[in-house]
Structure 1
Amino acid sequence: MDEVKVVVTHRERTTLRVGDVFLKVDADRARTGVEVEAMAMAPIPTPEILWCKPPVLALAALPGTALGRLGEPSAASPAAWAAAGAAVRTLHDAPLPPWPGRSVDAIAADLDRECEWLVAGGVLPAALVTRNREIAEAALRPWTPVFTHGDLQITHVFVAGDELTGVIDWSEACRGDAMFDLATLTLGHEDRLGDLLAGYGRDVDLDVIRAWWSLRSLLASRWLIENGFDPSAPGCEFDVLRARM
């Protein structure tokens, strides 16, 4: 008999695995709707939807393994990273989803609030936060919106050998900045950015990608801490921020 395995759990969502079936239970039914619609629109491989009865979404497991994990060197080949880059380019070239993403002003306001929290609570040194806040400024500029995954963590991209087999967790998909997806996928794996961009096949602003590394790490730290995750683990968000010094 298959065991029930808790893949990830926090206050917003729990994902369970039973055999080759994943059950996602989301407190926000609207997010489930976004995930279903985004996967239907995405021009790249996604998990098969077995059934959806909000707040539960049942998905078939993808073949292959994750491109890597935060805090560990990626064992995936340069060709696999390039295949991921080509898939991201295909997504970014696709028609926009009908729902909007977050504005630059909203992101900037969140960034200011999170930086204040990190310093006021003594979570990180003020100089470290200030330096990364300065770097993050380069991402806070107008951009031409594309179809973004919105949470393109390295564990959300699956490969088998040199081939991409699919991308999971589409609940944050929206119109957004292409550089954000590229930065999210290479967060903590900056050494693989060249492989990713070889497949992406388009000139990018490396300073903006670096800015998003800082910005995403600053924005995510409080949420991670409050939901039982550790941004201070080796190779994770705090190390990303320290690397900018």
Structure 2
Amino acid sequence: MTRYKATISYDGTLFAGFQRQTKVRSVQEEIEKTLERLNSGVPVKIHGAGRTDSGVHAYGQVIHFDLPQARDAERLRFGLDSQLPEDIDVVAVEQVGDDFHARYNKHSKTYEFLVDNGRPKNPMMRNYATSYPYPLDLSLMQEAIKDLEGTHDFTGFTASGTAVENKVRTITRATVNQDSKTGFLVFTFSGNGFLYKQVRNMVGTLLKIGNGRMPVSQIKTVLESQNRNLAGPTAAGNGLYLKEIIYED
């Protein structure tokens, strides 16, 4: 068997998420169906670096899969790209060693979250930026977001129902800025891993801080208390993008 690593992007609007699920459309299922056609009807299972939820987008999701014989990487990329639905794009394909695993090899992820703070909102971006049509103080959010950097137990920013026991993660970069062209707020988070709905919960809390309904110190309070009830609401998934995954050598 020959192992391949692929970087893919997708518009998550019409997907129930990355992972295959029963009776709903998923990114994993679409790619596996296409690989099966390219592999003469033999099923092929893909493994992703992580899951994305319903409506969440990706610029740089990474997957790996095995095929029974070696293929030219660019021809394989083109074959996948030309047969997949239009809301999935295969950015790159490369052959890798059998020890590579998209999920378990050490890596860092970067997520972006777009917020449309316009009044009225931009209807053309309704699937690609989360609307928040209330006053926001950017400087308050920029002050508070720095408290997320470093190694912390993020229990207070995790959705209930997660099966992960160890909720300690390291965030190496946490910023929020306003795009000069669109006016959208751009939240950026880089780290060694993120928990279920963690990014959306962090953004929801920061928006409340920016709106003056929570103090700047609320991030520290949630981290120290590990109490989800003290954090803000979960921001909608349509503004979230898995931007990049970088593997360590």
TM-score (norm 2): 0.26
Q: Kindly name which structure, 1 or 2, has the bigger radius of gyration based on alpha carbons.
A: 2
Which of the two has greater helix per residue? 1
Higher strand share: 2
